[in-house]
Amino acid sequence: MHDAYLYDGIRTPFGRHGGALAGMRPDDLLGLTLKRLVERSPFAADAFEDVLAGCTNQAGEDSRNVAGQTVNRLGAGVLVLGYRYLASQGIRDIARPHMQRLADATDCAIALGTADRVSMTYVEVCQGSGPLVMRLETGSRISMATTAIGRAWLCGISAERRNALMADMRQRDPDNWPATEQSISKSLDDYASYGFCLSEGDWEREVSAVAMPLILEEGAEVMAINCGGSSLRLSHRVLVENLGPRLKDLIEQIKGSLKPPRIG
């Protein structure tokens, strides 16, 4: 067992019934606490590998993974610094209605993800009315290298950052690295050709998907969105000629919604 060390401590403010904190979500309150701890810490923000927290909601979506939910909401509001509008709502709240419309129109699963080391974490998932093929929900973590959404995220970051991550992947799993490198290279080619990445049974044989990076603040923050479903009905032609262009439209819709409202 590894040793555990306490470096600092901080608590949320005391509240009272019907007071100033009454309308605040528990994960938002925890997020403010975590943000302050990171600011006080001698460690760089990207050095933290995981966040653990007790369950502060006994029902609803946050009871699944309150720590992960907190970090996702905190990250959207803090990292994308230019959007005051975005900071108040969170990117998932803005993206959700656009994602749900595409899910309903295509009978596919639409997911918004963010990177966590060499994995991707779903911060929002919208399901269509068709057969449920991907039983993943908000907070789920999947491989970055073997999924369309992960490789799309890699396509959206700088070459320097991508090369560093690929070196980390090679060190973590040298036996499978040749196949991993080949799949990432193919996704880079697909992104250059189509503007999106393809996964045709790469991650799971029965699942096919397209994915694109969601690049915010000129690359200051990069997320990714996928659109996937049963490979029995999502042929290569459907992915390239139908879902890919629709995903491009979705990205533009979300970016349009992120623009601060004009004043005057």
In a domain, 7, yes or no: no
Q: Compute the average pLDDT of residues 170-174.
A: 93
Angle between helices 159-172 and 148-156 (to 10 degrees): 140
68 shares a domain with 104: no
233 shares a domain with 103: yes
Q: Per residue in 33-49, pLDDT tens?
A: 777 777 787 777 666 66
251 shares a domain with 130: yes
185 shares a domain with 58: no
In a domain, 178, yes or no: yes
Contact assessment for residue 13 and residue 24, using Cβ atoms and an 8 Å cutoff: no
162 shares a domain with 98: yes
| Most confident of the ranges 31-35, 69-73, 116-120 | 116-120
In a domain, 5, yes or no: no
pTM: 0.67
In a domain, 19, yes or no: no
Distance of CA 224 to the CA centre of its chain: 6
Q: Tell me, what amino acid is at 173? A: D
pLDDT at 8 over 90: no
Sheet containing strand 221-230, strands side by side: 141-143, 119-127, 109-116, 221-230, 207-216, 197-200
167 shares a domain with 58: no
In a domain, 214, yes or no: yes
In a domain, 249, yes or no: yes
- Distance of CA 61 to CAs 56, 121, 263, Å? 11, 15, 35
In a domain, 16, yes or no: no
pLDDT at 183 over 70: yes
The range of the structural domain enclosing residue 63 comes to: 26-79
First to last CA, the chain: 61
